[in-house]
Amino acid sequence: MPILVNDGAADRVISPEEQRHHLQTALESIADRPRKVLLVPPDISRKHSQAGPLAVMAYELLGPDVQVNVMPAIGTHFAMTDDEIATMFGDTIPRDRFLDHDWRNGVESVGVIPSALVAEWSDGGVNYDIEVSVDRELIHGGYDLVLSLGQIVPHEVVGMANYSKNIIVGLGGADLINRSHYLGSVHGAERTMGRIDTPVRRILNYALHEFLGTLPIWFVFTVMELDTGTGKLNMRGMYVGDDDETFASGARLSQQVNLNLLEQPLHKIVVYLEADEFKSTWLGNKAVYRTRMAIADGGELLVLAPGLREFGEDRTIDALLRKYGYPGTPETIALVAQDEDLGNCLGAAAHMMHGSSEGRFSITYCPGEAMGREEIESVGYLYADLGEMLERYPPDQLDEGFNTMPDGEEIYFISNPALGLWALQSDFPG
Protein backbone atom coordinates (compact mmCIF):
# COMPACT_ATOMS: atom_id res chain seq x y z
CA MET A 1 0.00 0.00 0.00
CA PRO A 2 1.11 3.63 -0.45
CA ILE A 3 2.50 5.51 2.53
CA LEU A 4 -0.46 6.46 4.70
CA VAL A 5 1.30 9.40 6.38
CA ASN A 6 4.27 11.14 4.78
CA ASP A 7 4.99 14.35 6.65
CA GLY A 8 8.51 15.58 7.27
CA ALA A 9 11.11 18.24 6.60
CA ALA A 10 14.25 19.49 8.30
CA ASP A 11 12.45 22.64 9.47
CA ARG A 12 9.08 21.02 10.19
CA VAL A 13 7.63 20.90 13.73
CA ILE A 14 4.73 18.45 14.00
CA SER A 15 2.51 19.41 16.92
CA PRO A 16 0.79 16.87 19.21
CA GLU A 17 -2.51 17.80 17.57
CA GLU A 18 -1.09 17.06 14.13
CA GLN A 19 0.40 13.80 15.40
CA ARG A 20 -3.00 12.71 16.64
CA HIS A 21 -4.61 13.67 13.33
CA HIS A 22 -1.99 11.73 11.37
CA LEU A 23 -2.50 8.68 13.55
CA GLN A 24 -6.27 8.87 13.23
CA THR A 25 -6.01 9.20 9.44
CA ALA A 26 -3.75 6.16 9.27
CA LEU A 27 -5.98 4.01 11.48
CA GLU A 28 -9.02 4.94 9.41
CA SER A 29 -7.14 4.02 6.20
CA ILE A 30 -6.47 0.48 7.33
CA ALA A 31 -9.25 -1.48 5.58
CA ASP A 32 -10.72 -3.64 8.31
CA ARG A 33 -11.49 -2.07 11.65
CA PRO A 34 -9.47 -4.14 14.12
CA ARG A 35 -10.93 -5.91 17.11
CA LYS A 36 -7.64 -6.81 18.78
CA VAL A 37 -4.49 -4.69 18.48
CA LEU A 38 -0.91 -5.09 19.68
CA LEU A 39 1.08 -1.88 20.14
CA VAL A 40 4.86 -2.35 19.95
CA PRO A 41 6.69 0.75 21.20
CA PRO A 42 10.30 0.86 22.44
CA ASP A 43 11.15 0.87 26.13
CA ILE A 44 12.32 3.63 28.47
CA SER A 45 15.77 3.63 26.82
CA ARG A 46 14.10 5.38 23.87
CA LYS A 47 11.63 7.56 25.73
CA HIS A 48 12.51 10.57 23.56
CA SER A 49 11.12 8.79 20.50
CA GLN A 50 7.62 10.15 21.22
CA ALA A 51 6.42 6.54 20.99
CA GLY A 52 4.95 6.74 24.49
CA PRO A 53 2.49 9.57 23.75
CA LEU A 54 1.74 8.06 20.32
CA ALA A 55 0.88 4.71 21.92
CA VAL A 56 -1.50 6.51 24.27
CA MET A 57 -3.09 8.34 21.32
CA ALA A 58 -3.53 5.05 19.46
CA TYR A 59 -5.15 3.47 22.51
CA GLU A 60 -7.59 6.37 22.80
CA LEU A 61 -8.37 6.47 19.07
CA LEU A 62 -9.03 2.74 18.86
CA GLY A 63 -11.64 3.11 21.57
CA PRO A 64 -13.06 0.92 24.31
CA ASP A 65 -14.47 -1.70 21.94
CA VAL A 66 -10.99 -2.75 20.80
CA GLN A 67 -8.78 -5.02 22.89
CA VAL A 68 -5.44 -3.24 22.97
CA ASN A 69 -2.29 -4.80 24.43
CA VAL A 70 1.16 -3.21 24.62
CA MET A 71 4.38 -5.20 24.33
CA PRO A 72 7.47 -2.96 24.54
CA ALA A 73 10.19 -4.02 22.09
CA ILE A 74 12.82 -4.55 24.76
CA GLY A 75 15.04 -7.04 22.93
CA THR A 76 17.64 -8.03 25.51
CA HIS A 77 16.89 -5.11 27.85
CA PHE A 78 15.24 -5.38 31.24
CA ALA A 79 11.46 -5.60 31.31
CA MET A 80 9.97 -2.20 32.05
CA THR A 81 9.14 -1.45 35.67
CA ASP A 82 5.84 0.07 36.76
CA ASP A 83 7.59 3.40 37.33
CA GLU A 84 9.14 3.32 33.84
CA ILE A 85 5.77 2.52 32.28
CA ALA A 86 4.21 5.42 34.16
CA THR A 87 7.02 7.76 33.06
CA MET A 88 6.75 6.83 29.40
CA PHE A 89 3.03 6.12 28.96
CA GLY A 90 1.26 7.84 31.85
CA ASP A 91 -1.79 6.15 33.36
CA THR A 92 -4.24 6.13 30.44
CA ILE A 93 -3.49 2.55 29.34
CA PRO A 94 -4.30 0.07 32.14
CA ARG A 95 -1.25 -1.63 33.58
CA ASP A 96 -2.65 -5.10 32.88
CA ARG A 97 -2.55 -4.34 29.13
CA PHE A 98 1.27 -4.33 29.19
CA LEU A 99 2.98 -7.61 28.28
CA ASP A 100 6.65 -8.52 28.81
CA HIS A 101 8.81 -9.93 26.04
CA ASP A 102 11.17 -12.76 27.08
CA TRP A 103 13.90 -13.10 24.45
CA ARG A 104 15.24 -16.34 25.91
CA ASN A 105 12.10 -18.32 26.78
CA GLY A 106 9.07 -16.63 25.22
CA VAL A 107 9.84 -17.01 21.51
CA GLU A 108 9.06 -19.40 18.67
CA SER A 109 11.06 -20.12 15.52
CA VAL A 110 9.52 -18.89 12.28
CA GLY A 111 12.31 -19.62 9.80
CA VAL A 112 16.03 -19.68 8.99
CA ILE A 113 18.04 -17.21 6.93
CA PRO A 114 20.50 -19.37 4.96
CA SER A 115 24.23 -18.93 5.40
CA ALA A 116 24.72 -18.22 1.70
CA LEU A 117 22.68 -15.02 1.95
CA VAL A 118 24.34 -14.03 5.22
CA ALA A 119 27.79 -14.49 3.69
CA GLU A 120 26.80 -12.56 0.57
CA TRP A 121 25.37 -9.61 2.49
CA SER A 122 28.28 -9.47 4.94
CA ASP A 123 30.88 -9.53 2.14
CA GLY A 124 32.14 -12.81 3.59
CA GLY A 125 32.53 -11.37 7.10
CA VAL A 126 30.49 -14.21 8.60
CA ASN A 127 29.09 -17.43 7.21
CA TYR A 128 26.34 -19.00 9.28
CA ASP A 129 22.61 -19.69 9.26
CA ILE A 130 20.47 -17.38 11.38
CA GLU A 131 17.38 -18.76 13.07
CA VAL A 132 14.58 -16.21 13.30
CA SER A 133 12.36 -16.43 16.37
CA VAL A 134 9.79 -13.95 17.61
CA ASP A 135 7.53 -13.63 20.60
CA ARG A 136 4.75 -16.24 20.67
CA GLU A 137 2.25 -13.50 21.47
CA LEU A 138 2.97 -11.89 18.11
CA ILE A 139 2.30 -15.16 16.27
CA HIS A 140 -0.56 -16.65 18.27
CA GLY A 141 -2.20 -13.64 19.87
CA GLY A 142 -4.91 -13.34 17.22
CA TYR A 143 -4.23 -9.69 16.45
CA ASP A 144 -6.00 -7.90 13.61
CA LEU A 145 -3.39 -5.14 13.72
CA VAL A 146 0.17 -4.91 15.04
CA LEU A 147 1.23 -1.28 15.27
CA SER A 148 4.99 -0.76 15.69
CA LEU A 149 5.89 2.73 16.92
CA GLY A 150 9.33 4.25 17.22
CA GLN A 151 12.06 6.63 16.16
CA ILE A 152 14.35 6.46 13.15
CA VAL A 153 17.83 7.50 14.25
CA PRO A 154 21.40 6.43 13.37
CA HIS A 155 22.28 3.07 14.89
CA GLU A 156 25.56 1.22 15.35
CA VAL A 157 24.36 -2.27 14.33
CA VAL A 158 21.70 -1.79 11.67
CA GLY A 159 22.67 1.65 10.35
CA MET A 160 19.35 3.41 10.98
CA ALA A 161 17.16 2.23 13.84
CA ASN A 162 13.62 0.91 13.72
CA TYR A 163 11.35 -0.71 11.08
CA SER A 164 12.08 -4.45 10.89
CA LYS A 165 14.50 -4.13 13.83
CA ASN A 166 11.71 -3.11 16.20
CA ILE A 167 9.91 -6.41 15.49
CA ILE A 168 12.63 -8.91 14.59
CA VAL A 169 15.07 -7.79 17.31
CA GLY A 170 12.76 -5.96 19.73
CA LEU A 171 10.45 -8.99 19.97
CA GLY A 172 13.09 -11.46 18.79
CA GLY A 173 15.02 -14.43 20.08
CA ALA A 174 18.61 -15.16 20.99
CA ASP A 175 20.02 -16.54 17.74
CA LEU A 176 18.91 -13.67 15.53
CA ILE A 177 19.85 -11.02 18.09
CA ASN A 178 23.27 -12.50 18.73
CA ARG A 179 24.24 -13.35 15.17
CA SER A 180 22.93 -10.16 13.57
CA HIS A 181 24.71 -7.97 16.10
CA TYR A 182 27.95 -9.88 15.67
CA LEU A 183 27.67 -9.53 11.90
CA GLY A 184 27.23 -5.77 12.31
CA SER A 185 30.27 -5.45 14.56
CA VAL A 186 32.48 -7.53 12.25
CA HIS A 187 31.31 -5.41 9.30
CA GLY A 188 32.33 -2.36 11.35
CA ALA A 189 30.45 0.40 13.12
CA GLU A 190 32.08 3.08 10.97
CA ARG A 191 30.82 1.37 7.80
CA THR A 192 27.33 0.96 9.29
CA MET A 193 26.19 3.92 11.37
CA GLY A 194 23.98 6.40 9.60
CA ARG A 195 23.54 4.22 6.48
CA ILE A 196 20.17 2.98 5.23
CA ASP A 197 21.34 -0.10 3.30
CA THR A 198 23.53 -2.31 5.51
CA PRO A 199 24.10 -6.06 5.91
CA VAL A 200 22.05 -6.24 9.10
CA ARG A 201 19.22 -4.20 7.58
CA ARG A 202 19.03 -6.66 4.68
CA ILE A 203 18.85 -9.58 7.10
CA LEU A 204 16.13 -8.01 9.24
CA ASN A 205 14.04 -6.95 6.24
CA TYR A 206 14.36 -10.44 4.75
CA ALA A 207 13.14 -11.97 8.01
CA LEU A 208 10.20 -9.56 8.20
CA HIS A 209 9.06 -10.12 4.63
CA GLU A 210 9.76 -13.86 4.32
CA PHE A 211 8.59 -15.11 7.71
CA LEU A 212 6.12 -12.53 9.04
CA GLY A 213 4.67 -11.22 5.78
CA THR A 214 1.17 -12.54 6.53
CA LEU A 215 0.89 -10.66 9.82
CA PRO A 216 -0.92 -7.29 9.79
CA ILE A 217 2.10 -5.23 10.85
CA TRP A 218 2.11 -1.47 10.29
CA PHE A 219 4.77 1.03 11.31
CA VAL A 220 4.60 4.52 12.79
CA PHE A 221 7.98 6.22 12.48
CA THR A 222 9.12 9.45 14.09
CA VAL A 223 12.13 11.60 13.32
CA MET A 224 13.15 13.74 16.29
CA GLU A 225 15.69 16.53 16.58
CA LEU A 226 16.99 18.41 19.59
CA ASP A 227 16.88 22.16 19.09
CA THR A 228 20.29 23.13 20.44
CA GLY A 229 19.15 26.70 20.95
CA THR A 230 16.08 26.04 23.07
CA GLY A 231 16.82 22.54 24.33
CA LYS A 232 13.40 21.44 23.03
CA LEU A 233 12.93 18.13 21.26
CA ASN A 234 11.00 18.62 18.02
CA MET A 235 9.28 16.06 15.83
CA ARG A 236 10.55 16.77 12.32
CA GLY A 237 8.90 13.82 10.64
CA MET A 238 6.08 11.30 11.01
CA TYR A 239 5.58 8.42 8.60
CA VAL A 240 3.06 5.57 8.63
CA GLY A 241 3.09 2.58 6.30
CA ASP A 242 3.92 -1.09 5.95
CA ASP A 243 6.81 -1.19 3.47
CA ASP A 244 10.48 -0.43 2.83
CA GLU A 245 9.80 2.94 1.22
CA THR A 246 7.95 4.27 4.25
CA PHE A 247 11.02 3.53 6.33
CA ALA A 248 13.41 4.90 3.70
CA SER A 249 11.49 8.19 3.56
CA GLY A 250 11.92 8.68 7.28
CA ALA A 251 15.52 7.48 7.23
CA ARG A 252 16.49 10.06 4.61
CA LEU A 253 15.09 12.82 6.81
CA SER A 254 16.88 11.40 9.85
CA GLN A 255 20.14 11.55 7.91
CA GLN A 256 19.47 15.26 7.40
CA VAL A 257 18.66 16.15 11.01
CA ASN A 258 20.39 13.50 13.17
CA LEU A 259 23.83 13.39 11.55
CA ASN A 260 25.98 15.98 13.30
CA LEU A 261 28.87 16.37 10.87
CA LEU A 262 32.04 18.15 11.93
CA GLU A 263 34.89 19.61 9.91
CA GLN A 264 37.63 18.46 12.30
CA PRO A 265 37.97 15.64 14.87
CA LEU A 266 37.15 16.53 18.46
CA HIS A 267 39.76 16.24 21.20
CA LYS A 268 37.40 16.06 24.17
CA ILE A 269 33.74 15.10 24.29
CA VAL A 270 31.64 15.17 27.46
CA VAL A 271 28.44 13.11 27.36
CA TYR A 272 25.65 13.13 29.93
CA LEU A 273 23.50 10.02 30.46
CA GLU A 274 20.13 10.61 32.12
CA ALA A 275 19.81 8.43 35.20
CA ASP A 276 16.35 7.02 34.43
CA GLU A 277 17.29 6.14 30.84
CA PHE A 278 20.83 4.76 31.13
CA LYS A 279 21.43 2.25 33.93
CA SER A 280 24.00 0.03 32.21
CA THR A 281 26.93 0.30 29.85
CA TRP A 282 24.86 -1.97 27.58
CA LEU A 283 22.78 1.16 26.92
CA GLY A 284 25.13 3.85 28.14
CA ASN A 285 27.76 2.97 25.59
CA LYS A 286 25.72 4.90 23.09
CA ALA A 287 28.10 7.55 24.38
CA VAL A 288 30.88 5.53 22.71
CA TYR A 289 29.04 4.26 19.62
CA ARG A 290 27.59 7.54 18.55
CA THR A 291 30.74 9.65 19.06
CA ARG A 292 33.65 7.39 18.07
CA MET A 293 33.68 8.63 14.48
CA ALA A 294 34.11 12.22 15.69
CA ILE A 295 36.88 11.75 18.27
CA ALA A 296 40.48 12.47 17.36
CA ASP A 297 43.22 9.90 17.84
CA GLY A 298 44.55 10.47 21.35
CA GLY A 299 41.33 12.26 22.32
CA GLU A 300 39.15 11.82 25.40
CA LEU A 301 35.55 10.76 25.97
CA LEU A 302 34.15 11.61 29.42
CA VAL A 303 30.83 9.95 30.30
CA LEU A 304 28.74 11.37 33.17
CA ALA A 305 26.56 8.42 34.21
CA PRO A 306 24.72 9.00 37.51
CA GLY A 307 22.29 6.06 36.96
CA LEU A 308 24.92 3.44 36.08
CA ARG A 309 24.53 0.24 38.11
CA GLU A 310 25.76 -2.63 35.92
CA PHE A 311 27.27 -3.59 32.57
CA GLY A 312 24.85 -5.98 30.87
CA GLU A 313 21.05 -6.10 31.24
CA ASP A 314 21.17 -9.89 31.41
CA ARG A 315 23.02 -12.07 33.92
CA THR A 316 24.91 -14.03 31.27
CA ILE A 317 25.91 -10.93 29.32
CA ASP A 318 26.83 -9.00 32.46
CA ALA A 319 29.10 -11.87 33.58
CA LEU A 320 30.85 -11.97 30.20
CA LEU A 321 31.43 -8.22 30.22
CA ARG A 322 32.84 -8.41 33.74
CA LYS A 323 35.12 -11.24 32.61
CA TYR A 324 36.45 -9.71 29.41
CA GLY A 325 35.61 -6.01 29.43
CA TYR A 326 35.94 -4.05 26.17
CA PRO A 327 39.20 -5.20 24.57
CA GLY A 328 38.55 -4.17 20.95
CA THR A 329 37.77 -6.01 17.75
CA PRO A 330 40.82 -8.23 17.06
CA GLU A 331 41.00 -9.55 20.62
CA THR A 332 37.24 -10.07 20.83
CA ILE A 333 37.16 -12.08 17.61
CA ALA A 334 39.97 -14.25 19.02
CA LEU A 335 38.09 -14.71 22.30
CA VAL A 336 34.96 -15.81 20.44
CA ALA A 337 36.99 -18.64 18.90
CA GLN A 338 38.45 -19.63 22.27
CA ASP A 339 35.56 -19.29 24.72
CA GLU A 340 32.44 -21.39 24.13
CA ASP A 341 30.33 -19.21 26.44
CA LEU A 342 31.23 -16.07 24.51
CA GLY A 343 30.84 -17.89 21.20
CA ASN A 344 27.31 -18.77 22.25
CA CYS A 345 26.56 -15.16 23.15
CA LEU A 346 27.66 -13.23 20.09
CA GLY A 347 25.56 -10.22 21.07
CA ALA A 348 27.87 -9.70 24.04
CA ALA A 349 30.89 -10.03 21.75
CA ALA A 350 29.44 -7.44 19.40
CA HIS A 351 28.87 -5.06 22.29
CA MET A 352 32.47 -5.59 23.45
CA MET A 353 33.67 -4.38 20.06
CA HIS A 354 31.30 -1.47 19.80
CA GLY A 355 32.13 -0.31 23.33
CA SER A 356 35.85 -0.11 22.67
CA SER A 357 37.82 2.86 21.39
CA GLU A 358 40.02 0.36 19.51
CA GLY A 359 42.93 2.02 21.29
CA ARG A 360 42.37 5.36 19.55
CA PHE A 361 41.10 7.47 22.48
CA SER A 362 40.47 7.21 26.22
CA ILE A 363 37.06 6.47 27.72
CA THR A 364 36.40 7.71 31.26
CA TYR A 365 33.22 6.73 33.07
CA CYS A 366 31.84 8.69 36.03
CA PRO A 367 29.20 6.49 37.70
CA GLY A 368 26.96 7.21 40.64
CA GLU A 369 27.18 5.43 43.99
CA ALA A 370 26.01 2.07 42.57
CA MET A 371 29.37 1.39 40.86
CA GLY A 372 32.90 2.11 42.01
CA ARG A 373 36.34 2.65 40.59
CA GLU A 374 37.34 -1.03 40.71
CA GLU A 375 34.34 -2.16 38.61
CA ILE A 376 34.82 0.54 36.00
CA GLU A 377 38.55 -0.06 35.64
CA SER A 378 38.06 -3.85 35.53
CA VAL A 379 36.43 -3.59 32.07
CA GLY A 380 39.13 -1.36 30.64
CA TYR A 381 37.67 2.11 31.20
CA LEU A 382 39.15 4.95 33.21
CA TYR A 383 37.32 6.23 36.30
CA ALA A 384 36.62 9.72 37.54
CA ASP A 385 34.55 10.94 40.48
CA LEU A 386 31.04 11.93 39.38
CA GLY A 387 30.65 14.76 41.89
CA GLU A 388 33.90 16.37 40.86
CA MET A 389 33.13 16.06 37.16
CA LEU A 390 29.58 17.40 37.56
CA GLU A 391 31.01 20.40 39.35
CA ARG A 392 33.51 20.96 36.56
CA TYR A 393 31.06 20.14 33.73
CA PRO A 394 27.53 20.98 34.98
CA PRO A 395 25.16 19.65 32.31
CA ASP A 396 22.52 22.30 32.94
CA GLN A 397 25.03 25.07 32.31
CA LEU A 398 26.66 23.73 29.16
CA ASP A 399 25.64 24.43 25.60
CA GLU A 400 25.03 21.59 23.20
CA GLY A 401 28.18 21.35 21.14
CA PHE A 402 31.26 23.52 21.63
CA ASN A 403 32.04 25.03 25.05
CA THR A 404 35.02 26.92 26.44
CA MET A 405 35.44 26.27 30.15
CA PRO A 406 36.53 29.05 32.58
CA ASP A 407 40.12 27.77 32.51
CA GLY A 408 40.18 27.82 28.71
CA GLU A 409 39.61 24.09 28.15
CA GLU A 410 37.70 23.37 24.94
CA ILE A 411 35.08 20.61 25.11
CA TYR A 412 32.17 19.36 23.05
CA PHE A 413 29.06 18.57 25.11
CA ILE A 414 26.28 16.08 24.25
CA SER A 415 23.26 15.90 26.56
CA ASN A 416 21.84 12.68 25.09
CA PRO A 417 23.83 10.47 22.71
CA ALA A 418 20.70 8.50 21.74
CA LEU A 419 19.44 11.45 19.66
CA GLY A 420 22.02 11.37 16.89
CA LEU A 421 25.39 10.45 15.44
CA TRP A 422 28.50 12.61 15.56
CA ALA A 423 30.97 12.11 12.74
CA LEU A 424 33.18 13.95 10.27
CA GLN A 425 31.90 15.46 7.06
CA SER A 426 34.46 13.36 5.23
CA ASP A 427 32.69 10.21 6.50
CA PHE A 428 29.53 11.16 4.62
CA PRO A 429 30.58 12.84 1.38
CA GLY A 430 27.64 14.16 -0.59
| Domains and their CATH numbers in the chain | 5-259 (3.40.50.11440), 263-427 (3.90.226.30)
| In contact, 368 and 341? CB cutoff 8 Å | no
Contact 373, 383 (CB under 8 A): yes
Amino acid residing at 316: T
pLDDT of residue 412: 98
Per-residue pLDDT of the chain (430 residues; tens, 9 = 90+): 679 999 999 999 999 999 999 999 999 998 678 999 999 999 987 888 999 999 999 999 999 999 999 999 998 888 899 999 999 999 999 999 999 999 999 999 999 999 999 999 999 999 999 999 999 999 999 999 999 999 999 999 999 999 999 999 999 999 999 999 999 999 998 999 999 999 999 999 999 999 999 999 999 999 999 887 787 899 999 999 999 999 999 999 999 999 999 999 999 999 999 998 899 999 999 999 999 999 999 999 999 999 999 999 888 999 999 999 999 999 999 999 999 999 999 999 999 999 999 999 999 999 999 999 999 999 999 999 999 999 999 999 999 999 999 999 999 999 999 999 999 999 998 6
Strand 107-113 versus strand 130-135 pairing type = antiparallel
Residue 250 has a CB neighbour count (10 Å cut-off) of: 31
Q: Are 425 and 196 in contact (CB under 8 A)?
A: no
Measured CA to CA, the distance from residue 243 to residue 248 in angstroms comes to 9
Segments of 89-202 assigned E as strands: 107-113, 130-135, 145-151, 154-155, 159-160
pLDDT at site 1:
67
pLDDT of residue 314: 83
The pLDDT score that the predictor gives to residue 2 is: 77
For position 31, what pLDDT does the model report? 65
Cα-based angle 347, 179, 101 (whole degrees, multiple of 5): 65
Per DSSP, the three-state class of 265 is coil
The pTM for the full model equals 0.92
Backbone angles phi and psi of 104, in degrees to 5:
-95, -40
Residues listed for the chain: 430
Q: Which 3 state secondary structure label does DSSP give 76? A: coil
Distance of CA 158 to the CA centre of its chain: 9
